[in-house]
Chain A
Amino acid sequence: MKNKRSFTEELSPKQVLEIDACTQCGECLKHCPVQDVTNNPAVSPPEKIRMFREFIRSTDGLKAKLFGGAEADRKRLEDFTKAVYECTTCGACGQNCPVGIFTQRLWPTLRKEMVKRGLGPIGVQANLPKVITNSGNPYDKPAGDRYQPWFPVNVKVAERAGIGYYAGCTGAYEAQPMVRGDVLVLNAIGTPFTMLPPEEEVCCGFPLFITGQHDELEGLVKRLVAGYEARGVKTLVCSCPCCVNIMSRDWPAFYGKELPFTIRHITQFVASAIKEGKLRITKELRETVIYHDPCYLSRGVGVIEEPRDVLGSIPGVKVIEFERHGLNSRCCGSGGAARKVFHDNAIKMGRQTIDEAVKKKADRLILGCPACYAKVNEAMQGHDKQIKITDIMELVSGLLGERT
């Protein structure tokens, strides 16, 4: 009887409207990275919407209201669940939707509905709530290893400061050159910054949010906000686009009110420091670099120019662009918590990113997201095309001169 629950319970009224408004034109498919690598129409955005409309009709349609709802077919629900979790939630479909459906938010909401029905999440994603509750991070790594392997010994962290730095789980455990670069650059700027102790810097909640498992979110958010507030933080800086996205978009909702600090991506903070003369990149780099816009940073929160400003301030560097960049960037395959479950898809998408960078004759592929960093590096293993992959702050930290 569980499946007779309304399919619109987790959706906002505007999202119900969005599902109704899809014209099934299929324009989104040209921009879907999962379509590119799978060619499977079942995972396409219009097909997912068409199926979900059927589910809604089965519980909320006029016939269902008059004569009682029919139970949705289990097999179809399972197929739909797989399709909605195979998506990387990059939002390119919504960006190119002729109607303007906000898919980067719609797919996670549909996942939440599937979780409530006991059908989602998929594979290892189902362990996330337990793992995060026990270890504080989605990788089930000890808190003691969160900073210790990469944190530079000469960098001092203040007990209290107006600037807070959140390393994030993926950066700390899977993309350590990136977070090391962040800390070195923050140190070079010279403004004191604080961090939570490793056992207190828990998951931001994004993996739970994106897989539709919202039960633990409020606790995590309140714990983190209280920690930074106690340290006098007024601006919280983070380099992970997914963390930044949930912090700015959703933390206020889970916290229950406006946050006591502003959220800034590291590139915003560093671009400002360069502009204000607090940071000077003195070493020259005679290279052509290509910057990949992380989906949750560009389409997600509109941070597009600052990474380019930072790269543009490096003497000697020539910045080139992917065919699809900025708001229209193409997913590298690591988004939406799909990379651990649909590994092959993610590797293929990562290789597409590498291939285009090589084709454009870039000397170096610059990334600004720990998940992209981890997966694209993994995708390059055993691939016939090779390129230097560097995080933007990893690059900057290696080119710093004296503090001005």
Chain B
Amino acid sequence: MGTILIIAAYGVYAAFWIRFFLHALLWWKAVAGPAAIAGSPPLSVKACALSARDVVLFWRLLKVNPALWLGEWVFHASFLIVALRHLRYFFPIVPEWVWWFQTPGLIAGYVLPLSLIYILLVRRFSDQEKYSSPANMTLLAVLLIISSLGLLMATLYRADIVMVKLFIQGILCFSPAAAPDDILFLLHFSLVLVLIPLLPTHILTAPLVMLEAEKRELALPLVMHEK
């Protein structure tokens, strides 16, 4: 089982980076390429600031659906904190700043599955919701299982974190170690390997689209008015 997971981890890792570089290429082409309309406005500090607000606070979603925004923002924030907490498994010597995220990460570990359940409920029961992408629903379900398993391991059924760290370090250093003999961990880890290829690529491309949108919106009043 451990060997299969290690091989799968390398495969997923390689595929992730190929995907990342293909998207980096897409970014580069988009930045260098022409806009969809003539006379695309130049980059400005204001556009950058507004798009940073869009990316960090999901401002555009807040404007159109505050109920969903609450769940999505809390989910993304708690996911980030939980991911940062997990960095302790990736550094041979854990830097101090990673320790700062241990307690917040544990709290975020409780919030994360709750936020996912909230998102699923908003999507399922809101009268206004007309469209649910099957891919998004699958992703939410996988995330919910992963986060619930993680929470179980952090609270009720503690995993041997020394074994976990040795296993992860073994993968990172190309010196595979035995996988922990813990069914919850094995499931958790396997599902993370399933999750990575399912991660939507908009994580990589949406920020640039948001920047373009801010540039376009700032320029709209100038299209037909004196510059």
Query: Which residues in A have some Cβ–Cβ distance to B below 8 Å?
Result: 12-18, 20-27, 29-30, 35, 41, 44, 46-47, 50, 62, 96-102, 105-106, 109, 244, 248-250, 252-253, 263-265, 268, 301-303
Contact = CB atoms under 8 A, between A and B. Distances in A.
Interface in B67-125: 68
23 contacts: A20-B26, A20-B201, A23-B136, A25-B61, A29-B131, A30-B130, A41-B130, A41-B131, A46-B131, A46-B133, A96-B64, A99-B60, A99-B209, A100-B60, A100-B212, A106-B36, A109-B36, A253-B38, A265-B224, A268-B225, A301-B224, A302-B220, A302-B225
Contacts of B37: 102, 105, 249-250
Overall SS of chain B's interface: helix
Contacts of A50: 133
Contacts of B135: 24
Contacts of B23: 20
A116 B66 CA distance: 41
B156 interface: no
A26 B132 contact: yes
Contact of B205 (A20, A46, A96): A20
Contacts, number: 139
Contact of A249 (B38, B63, B64): B38
Contact of B206 (A21, A27, A30, A35): A21
A29 B35 contact: no
Nearest to B27: A17
Given A41-B131, A46-B133, A96-B64, A244 B209 contact: no
B26 A102 contact: no
B210 interface: yes
Interface in B1-36: 18, 22-23, 26-27, 29-30, 32-36
A252 B26 CA distance: 27
A22 B22 CA distance: 17
Nearest to B15: A62
A27 B129 CA distance: 8
Nearest to A44: B131
Interface in B131-181: 131-133, 135-136
Contacts of A249: 37-38, 223
Contacts of B222: 302
Contacts of B206: 21, 23, 99
B224 A268 contact: yes
Contacts of A24: 131, 133, 135-136, 200
Contacts of A13: 26, 29-30, 32-34
Interface residues on B, range: 35 or more
Contact of A14 (B18, B54, B58, B212): B212
A51 to B, nearest CB: 12
A311 to B, nearest CB: 18
The winner among A41, A98, A263 for most chain B CB atoms within 10 A is: A98
B198 interface: no
Given A100-B217, A301-B220, 11 more contacts: A12-B36, A13-B30, A17-B27, A17-B30, A20-B26, A62-B18, A98-B60, A100-B214, A106-B36, A249-B223, A250-B38
Contacts of A301: 220, 223-224
Contacts of A99: 60, 202, 206, 209-210, 213
B209 A21 contact: yes
Given A102-B213, A302-B223, A17 B36 contact: no
The winner among B37, B129, B221, B224 for most chain A CB atoms within 10 A is: B224
B5 to A, nearest CB: 24
A244 B27 CA distance: 32
A26 B65 CA distance: 11
